[in-house]
Structure 1
Amino acid sequence: MKSLKHWVFWPPFLFVLAASVLSFTNKEAFIKITTGANDWVIANVGWVFSLAGLFMVVVCVGVYFSKLGKVRIGGENAKPLLSFRNWFAITLTTTIAAGITFWGIAEPIYHLVEPPKSMNLEPNSAGAAIFSMSTMYLHWTITPYAIYCIPALMFAFAYYNMKQPFSIGSTLAPLLGNKIHGKWGKALDAVCLYTLALGMAAAMGTSILNLAGGVNYLSGLKSASLLWAVIAAVVMTTFIISASTGLMKGIRILSDINFKLFLFIIVFIFLVGPTSYILNLGTESFGYYLTYFFEKSLFTGAAANDQWPQWWTTFYWANWFSWAALTALFLGRIAYGHTVRAFIIVNFALPAAFGGIWMTIFGGTSIYLQMNDGKFGDILTSSGPEALVYAALEAMPLSEIIIPLYLFIVFIAFVTSADSTLAAMGGISSKGITPESPEPGIFIKVVWGITISAVAWVMISFAKIDGIKMLSNLGGVPAVLLVIGIVFALIKVAKDPGKYDRTREELGGEQKRDRAG
């Protein structure tokens, strides 16, 4: 408790706790408040998410080719904290990897059986199939990773090269100077804790439903509140134990296991699934995605009063923004010793390519099964999205082996993601975090782990998949405003990196001392 930043920790913690208490004591009031706030968000702020996401893709590419691209994070003499392989594995598995294991099979069926009304596509038609697959590319490739990459890169440069404190406010130092580390900085960190708590609860809700679907398939236990509570408790205990071991043990080991399992399951489904159909549909849909990239990125549905973009694209962008601001502290911290261009490759280009491959294989398989069988839409309606994943895997050879393995992949994926998130939340809640002493205490990780698990269980118990979307949307509003500021801070740095890079001054001082000696 002595190391706790009270003005950063208590406001978001008490706010999230109050919401949980209200949900237990007055369910109707809780649902009315969250639904009303969510409806306002998706009706009024969706355009901000769309424009911001597209802008960040452009900035990512621009920074890669700028003078900043050649700068080494931590200075010219900085030695990498992680090997390139470990760095990529951790980055991939601690960002949206938990999401792709659930939505990769479930989401395409939603778009196939119920495409946007304003597009006049016939459900289960060829046009709906192409729309569905191309939408997976929109939601799971370059745009989400650009949203993650920009804040993480700005924090890495601010923390290691500008010698700023371990605070999300440091990302705005190029715009506001050291003024950001006063009361406004504490308020900013508190808001980011709130957004990440809701974003992580949304992701955990998705993983709980995914795991419950697997347990239901294997044991016959009903996917309901009691099972969700047990799964939440097991997952929470595991990621708290992992988080307590620190970066070089828990996260590194789990991410390496996770990455290898990802590669295995991708190759397996590609070889035993409808390979030709996957490749042909993926090629055609990718062409559609490129042709209509700007139109799909900026589709709000306002002209036709179509709610589809609000409940899908806005949901995803809000989710990414909820995570991005504070996850930047973790992703930036592990980038020490690598160049900015390498950072963009590992945090933007390679994960986006991986997401595209995953969605081509799993989304293509899902669409094929629905187009040739037709029962997956019925499964979605009768049993929920968590049942779709395992129904699709059941159609594969060796399903009795693959389904338990996939269940393990889902479990490890979320534990790895939660591990890194708790490290970031614990770090921003604590005093004395420096490059030399980067780990927060276990107590603060336990507190946040229990709180988030409780919120996730409450929302899926009362609102299921809609509850997950509400959490993401509510957490994304303040986050997107912050991230827009971070984008302009990074642009300012990219124009003249030497003006902000204090490691050059230190290197120059060392060289002078060496010559004098």
Structure 2
Amino acid sequence: MNNIRHAVFWPPFLLLIGASILSFTNKESFISMTTNANNWVIANLGWLFSLGGLLMVGGCIFAYFSPLGNVRIGGEHAKPMLKFSNWFAITLTTTIATLTFWSIVEPIYHLSTPPESLGLDPNSPGAALFSLSTLYLHWTFTPYAIYCVPAVVFAFVYYNMKKPYSLSSTLSPLFGNKINKSTSTIIDAICLYTLALGMAASMGTSILTLSGGIEHITGIGSSPVLWGIVAAVVTVTFLISAATGLMKGIRILSDINMKAFYVILAFVFLVGPIPFILNSSTEAFGVYLTEFFKKSLFTGAAAGDPWPQWWTTFYWASWFAWALILSLFLGRIAYGYKVKTVILVNFVLPAVFGMIWMSVFGGTAISMDMVDGVLSNALATSGPEAVIYEFFSNLPWAAVIIPFFLFVFFITFVTACDSNVAAMSGISSTGITPEKPEAGLLVKVLWGIAVSLISWSMISFASIDGVKMLNNLGGVPALFLGLVVFGSLVKICLNPQKYDKTIGEKPVENSKETTETLPKAL
């Protein structure tokens, strides 16, 4: 704690603890305050979230083909600290925590209750096509663009511009020396708060999923008591991993996680309705491409339809809330690679993986529900956490695959929490440099406990709606800062040599963390 940045750490930390205390002592006021704030957000800022997501996609494409694309993070002589396979595994598994939940639950929501303004009949072929194509919108290129833009900017300003380990550094291409210490502190504190809310929301989804699995296997009811126990176990596990540092805990977890992803993905595809998966995903992909702009900018305002605010705005708020702080982590591990490769690993490849995953899981869920409505019934009678286990119960070898899925989900979320706590703790601390990238353990412990408390409070008193409210509230300040970071990216892309202080540097000895060099093309 000696190296803590008090003005950055304490305001968001105390706000989270205060919210948790209020939820215990005055539940009605807590729910009223968060609900009113959330209603204002979705009514007034949905359009800006839609435009922001679209801009990020354009930013990734522009950066890839700009002069910045051929710049190596850390300078021309920099060697990667991670080999390519480890890098992609860490990047994917730290940004995909709730995909395993929503890939099964979300398509059932869209299939059974499509947007009223589109005139689609529930459980119709049109609703099925809308459902799968909407999964592609929510889980492929746009969300990963929201992650990728600040990650590229931070990697460049931190390693190539030699700026401090702070989110305010990402604004320096636009504002230069106008960003002083006070401004930097305010920006970092706001972003820390947004990630804490976003991470709490994601943890809420994960707690519900794990508790639903425990109930399915053991019969123990999914209740606030069980949620509290699950939250405690998850927290202890990711703090143990966080204590070991990037090169040990998270690298091992992410490698296990990727292998488990491949196994369960292959299993569901092979035992699922293969012709339906292949045909429906092809058709849905066509709809996604032809209606990309329409779907991206759908607000429902003309028809008074709240669907876009409760789905697309919810997702974009979630990704923006996570993106800025997580960019410190994603940018840090991009050292030694060209910007083109950073975009490939943070934007293109995860989006392709997400599309394959959604095609298999979403397609199977839709096919299953259109036969007898079994998943819709589970959603209506037992809640979203029950849908996943009803899904697996209707597949072969359910007694084996359900515990395995729980393991996959647990490891996925622990990996994501590990990277987020590392980023949150780093920005809360002084003395973080490329040579000394890890924050103290006590700061990590405090953040882990605070996030777990607010997460448990929201799902206990507001269930899945509480998760959505956390995402929306955390995403608002992150959205505005993200748009400014987008401006920094554009400015760097136009003339990267102007900002790159590594030009002309002599080669240095390889870091001990360097595990692999890549062909010059990368």
CA distance, structure 1, for counterparts of residue 326 and residue 113 of structure 2: 33
1:181 offset after TM fit, Å? 4.0
Aligned to 1:244: 243
Q: Give yes or no for the alignment of 1:3 onto 2:10.
A: no
Q: Give yes or no for the alignment of 1:69 onto 2:69.
A: yes
Aligned to 1:514: none
Letter in structure 2 aligned against 1:471: L
CA distance, structure 1, for counterparts of residue 430 and residue 391 of structure 2: 48
The secondary structure found in structure 2 opposite 1:260 is helix
1:14-56 per-residue CA deviation (whole Å, 9 max, x = no partner) reads 1111111111110000000000000000000010100010011
Instruction: Say if 1:251 and 1:420, in contact at 8 Å, map to a contact too.
Output: yes
CA distance, structure 1, for counterparts of residue 499 and residue 97 of structure 2: 36
Could you say if the C-alpha distance between residues 436 and 292 of structure 1 is closer, same or farther in structure 2, counting changes exceeding 3 Å?
Answer: same
Instruction: Say if 1:426 and 1:445, in contact at 8 Å, map to a contact too.
Output: yes
1:124-172 per-residue CA deviation (whole Å, 9 max, x = no partner) reads 0000000000000000000000000000100000000000000000100
Aligned to 2:184: 185
Instruction: Say if 2:77 and 2:508, in contact at 8 Å, map to a contact too.
Output: no
1:177 offset after TM fit, Å? 1.4
CA distance, structure 2, for counterparts of residue 412 and residue 169 of structure 1: 32
1:375 offset after TM fit, Å? 2.1
Q: Give yes or no for the alignment of 1:17 onto 2:17.
A: yes
Aligned to 1:41: 41
Instruction: Say if 2:324 and 2:482, in contact at 8 Å, map to a contact too.
Output: yes
The secondary structure found in structure 1 opposite 2:302 is coil
Aligned to 1:259: 258
Instruction: Say if 2:77 and 2:507, in contact at 8 Å, map to a contact too.
Output: no
1:508 offset after TM fit, Å? 10
Aligned to 1:422: 421
The secondary structure found in structure 1 opposite 2:236 is helix
* TM-score between the two structures when normalised by the length of structure 1: 0.97
1:507 offset after TM fit, Å? 4.0
Instruction: Say if 1:170 and 1:181, in contact at 8 Å, map to a contact too.
Output: no
Q: Give yes or no for the alignment of 1:294 onto 2:298.
A: no
1:269-294 per-residue CA deviation (whole Å, 9 max, x = no partner) reads 10111111111110111111111110
1:163-197 per-residue CA deviation (whole Å, 9 max, x = no partner) reads 00000001001011133241001000000010000
Letter in structure 2 aligned against 1:495: L
Per mean C-alpha deviation after superposition, the further-off stretch among 252-261 and 389-398 is 389-398
Aligned to 2:85: 85
Aligned to 2:29: 29
Q: How does 1:364-383 map to 2 (within 5 A)?
A: 364-383=363-382
Instruction: Say if 1:112 and 1:124, in contact at 8 Å, map to a contact too.
Output: yes
Instruction: Say if 2:75 and 2:505, in contact at 8 Å, map to a contact too.
Output: no
Aligned to 1:467: 466
Instruction: Say if 2:151 and 2:330, in contact at 8 Å, map to a contact too.
Output: yes
1:77 offset after TM fit, Å? 0.5
CA distance, structure 2, for counterparts of residue 73 and residue 333 of structure 1: 10
Letter in structure 2 aligned against 1:431: T
Q: Percent identity of the aligned residues? A: 62
Letter in structure 2 aligned against 1:72: R
Q: Give yes or no for the alignment of 1:155 onto 2:154.
A: yes
1:305-335 per-residue CA deviation (whole Å, 9 max, x = no partner) reads 0000000000000000000010000000000
Letter in structure 2 aligned against 1:85: S
Aligned to 1:143: 142
Letter in structure 1 aligned against 2:414: V
1:262 offset after TM fit, Å? 0.3
Q: Give yes or no for the alignment of 1:393 onto 2:392.
A: yes
Instruction: Say if 1:155 and 1:329, in contact at 8 Å, map to a contact too.
Output: yes
Aligned to 2:408: 409
Letter in structure 1 aligned against 2:19: A
CA distance, structure 2, for counterparts of residue 456 and residue 161 of structure 1: 37
CA distance, structure 2, for counterparts of residue 83 and residue 426 of structure 1: 25
Letter in structure 1 aligned against 2:132: M
Q: How does 1:257-406 map to 2 (within 5 A)?
A: 257-406=256-405
The secondary structure found in structure 1 opposite 2:163 is coil
Letter in structure 1 aligned against 2:326: T
1:509 offset after TM fit, Å? 13
Q: Which consecutive residues of structure 2, in runs of 5 or more, have no partner in the other structure? A: 510-522
Count of residues in correspondence between the two structures = 509
1:344-387 per-residue CA deviation (whole Å, 9 max, x = no partner) reads 00000000000000000000010011001112111101111111
1:506 offset after TM fit, Å? 3.1
* TM-score between the two structures when normalised by the length of structure 2: 0.97
CA RMSD of the aligned region, Å?
Answer: 1.1
Aligned to 1:485: 484
CA distance, structure 2, for counterparts of residue 182 and residue 17 of structure 1: 26
